[in-house]
C-alpha cells in the first residue's frame, strides 16, 4: 500500500483475528520503527514484541482495557531509555515521549500498509508492565501497540473525526 493511502485508511483496531502474522511482516513493521528520526538521533527507544500467550494475558491485565492486547497475535511494547535523553524541548518538556511516538507512528503506518491493524494503549499500570516484562530501572513503558489482522473492516471515516484545516493550521502568526 502506498504511504498516503496508509495515512488515509489507518483506523485504530480493537478486535483481532487469531491468525498469526508472517515473520517478514513483523520484521517490516519493526524496521519502520527502527528507521524513525529522533532528537539528536539518540534513538531512545526499545521495543519488546510480546508473542507468548501467557505473557500477553498478563500484559492485558496490566491495562485498564487490555482485551486487544490479549487478543492480538503480538503486542509491541514501546519503551524509552532515560539515560539516552539528556535534553529538553524549549526548556519545559523532555523529548523522549515524542521520539518514541514518532517511531510508533512509523510502525503503525507500516502495519497499515501490510494489511495489519494496530491501536495505541497508554492507559496501563506501569509497575505491572515492568513486572510482567522484567523491565529494569531507568526504562519507561510509553505505549502498548497490539498488532494483528483486523477482525472486522474499520469504516474509513478518519477525516470525519478530525478538526478542519482552519481550526488547526495558521500562517505567519498564531491567528486564533
Ligand X SMILES: Cc1cc2nc3c(=O)[nH]c(=O)nc-3n(C[C@H](O)[C@H](O)[C@H](O)COP(=O)(O)O)c2cc1C
73 or 117: CB nearest ligand X: 117
7 or 133: CB nearest ligand X: 7
Contact status, residue 118 vs residue 14, Cβ threshold 8 Å: no
Contact status, residue 59 vs residue 66, Cβ threshold 8 Å: yes
* Among 53, 123, 127, 152, contact with ligand X (rule: CB under 6 A): 123
* Among 33, 78, 111, 121, contact with ligand X (rule: CB under 6 A): 121
Per-residue x/- mask for ligand X, residues 10 to 29, rule CB under 6 A?
A: --x-----------------
Q: Is residue 50 exposed (0-12), middle (13-18) or buried (19+ Cβ within 10 Å)?
A: buried
27 or 67: CB nearest ligand X: 67
Question: Residue 158, interface with ligand X (CB under 6 A)?
Answer: yes
4 or 172: CB nearest ligand X: 4
**Span from 22-30, 34-42, 84-92, 114-122 in contact with ligand X (CB under 6 A):** 114-122
Q: CA 158 to CA 26: how far, in whole Å? A: 25
Nearest Cα neighbor of 145 from 5, 41, 21 is: 21
Task: Find the Cα–Cα–Cα–Cα dihedral 149, 153, 159, 161, rounded to 10°.
Answer: -100
Contact status, residue 44 vs residue 100, Cβ threshold 8 Å: yes
Binding site for ligand X (CB under 6 A): 12, 119-123, 158, 161
Amino acid at each position: 500500500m502506498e504511504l498516503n493511502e496508509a495515512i488515509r485508511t489507518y483506523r485504530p483496531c480493537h478486535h483481532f483475528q487469531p491468525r498469526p502474522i508472517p515473520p517478514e511482516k513483523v520484521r517490516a513493521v519493526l524496521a519502520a520503527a527502527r528507521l524513525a528520526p529522533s532528537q539528536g538521533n539518540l534513538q531512545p527507544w526499545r521495543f519488546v514484541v510480546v508473542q507468548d500467550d501467557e505473557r500477553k494475558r498478563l500484559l492485558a491485565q496490566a491495562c485498564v482495557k487490555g482485551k486487544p492486547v490479549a487478543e492480538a497475535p503480538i503486542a509491541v511494547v514501546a519503551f524509552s531509555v532515560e539515560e539516552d535523553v539528556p535534553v529538553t524541548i524549549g526548556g519545559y518538556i523532555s523529548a523522549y515521549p515524542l521520539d518514541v511516538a514518532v517511531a510508533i507512528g512509523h510502525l503503525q503506518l507500516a502495519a497499515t500498509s501490510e494489511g495489519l491493524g494496530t491501536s495505541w494503549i497508554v492507559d496501563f499500570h506501569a509497575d505491572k508492565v515492568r513486572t510482567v516484562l522484567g523491565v529494569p530501572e531507568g526504562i519507561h513503558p510509553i505505549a502498548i501497540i497490539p498488532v494483528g489482522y483486523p477482525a472486522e473492516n474499520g469504516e474509513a471515516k478518519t477525516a470525519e473525526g478530525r478538526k478542519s484545516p482552519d481550526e488547526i493550521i495558521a500562517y505567519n502568526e498564531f491567528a486564533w
